[in-house]
Amino acid sequence: MAPISVTALSFTEYVMSGQRGRISIVNDQRRIYLSSEHWVAGFYNPMRDAMRRAANSPDPEAELEKAVGTALDHPRAGQLRAFEEIKAGFLPWLLETRATGVPTGSARWHAGDLELKVRPHLGLIAPDGTRAAVMVYVKEPPLTQESANVALRILQQTMDDVLPGATPLVLDARRGQAFRMSRRTNLTKLDALIAAEAAGYVVHWRMSA
Q: What is the mean pLDDT of residues 126-143?
A: 96
pLDDT tens-digit series, residues 5-46? 999 999 999 998 876 677 788 888 887 777 655 444 588 999
Distance between CA atoms of residues 135 and 116, nearest Å? 13
Closest CA to 15 of 120, 127, 153: 153
| pTM of the full structure | 0.91
Could you give the CA distance from residue 62 to residue 68 in angstroms, rounded to a whole number?
A: 10
Residue 102 near residue 123 (C-beta atoms within 8 A): yes
Q: Mention every residue, 6+ apart, whose C-beta is less than 8 A from residue 3.
A: 110, 113, 114, 115
* Distance from C-alpha of 158 to C-alpha of 164, rounded to nearest angstrom: 9
Tens of pLDDT, residue by residue over 175-195, are 999 999 999 999 999 999 999
Tell me the pLDDT tens digit for each residue of 83-123.
999 999 999 999 999 999 999 999 999 999 999 999 999 99
Q: Other C-beta atoms within 10 Å of 64: how many? A: 25
* Domain segments of the chain as ranges: 4-42+98-207
Between 135 and 77, name the one with better pLDDT. 135
Average pLDDT over residues 47-62: 96
Give dist(CA 150, CA 193) in Å, integer: 9
